[in-house]
């Protein structure tokens, strides 16, 4: 293996700016992650950078399967002023509180 290989990029270390619970969705600059464990504010934690997750969906938001979705105010929606989170793995239906999302990163 190449000597400069670090790891597969499936996780990233972050410093929590507020208390985070395992499974919470967090923006680490322009990367959206799902916390692996509880992390106290100011402590370091690990977040998943890929995979398919059920995440909080913005109220009143609808979207089609496969569209780009964004994290804004702790919720997933289609408002592209948020942080790019990935692709909707299923349609976002009005009245549902959860969005199924495949986490993804993209170039700025």
Confidence of residue 107 (pLDDT cuts 50, 70, 90): low
Q: For 50-84, how does the pLDDT look when each residue is reduced to its tens digit (9 = 90+)?
A: 999 999 999 999 999 999 999 999 999 999 999 99
Instruction: Supply the range of the domain harboring residue 93.
Output: 11-103
Can you say how many angstroms the Cα of residue 49 is from the centroid of all Cα atoms in its chain? 7
Determine, yes or no, domain membership for 5: no
Q: What is the DSSP letter of 93?
A: P
Determine, yes or no, domain membership for 46: yes
Determine, yes or no, domain membership for 90: yes
Determine, yes or no, domain membership for 69: yes
Q: What is the CATH number of the domain that holds 52?
A: 2.40.300
pTM for this entry: 0.92
Supply angle C-alpha 49, 61, 21, rounded to 5: 40
- pLDDT surpasses 80 at 40: yes
Confidence (pLDDT) at 60: 94
């Amino acid at each position: 293996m190449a000597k400069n290989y670090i790891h597969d990029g499936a996780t990233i270390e972050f410093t929590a700016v507020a208390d985070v619970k395992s499974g919470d969705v967090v923006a680490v600059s322009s990367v959206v992650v799902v916390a692996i464990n509880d992390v106290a504010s100011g402590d370091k934690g690990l977040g998943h950078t890929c995979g398919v997750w059920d995440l909080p969906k913005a109220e009143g938001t609808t979207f089609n399967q496969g569209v780009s979705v964004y994290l804004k105010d702790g919720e997933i929606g289609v408002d592209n002023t948020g942080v790019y989170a990935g692709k909707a793995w299923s349609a976002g239906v009005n009245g549902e509180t959860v969005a199924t999302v495949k986490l993804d990163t993209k170039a700025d």
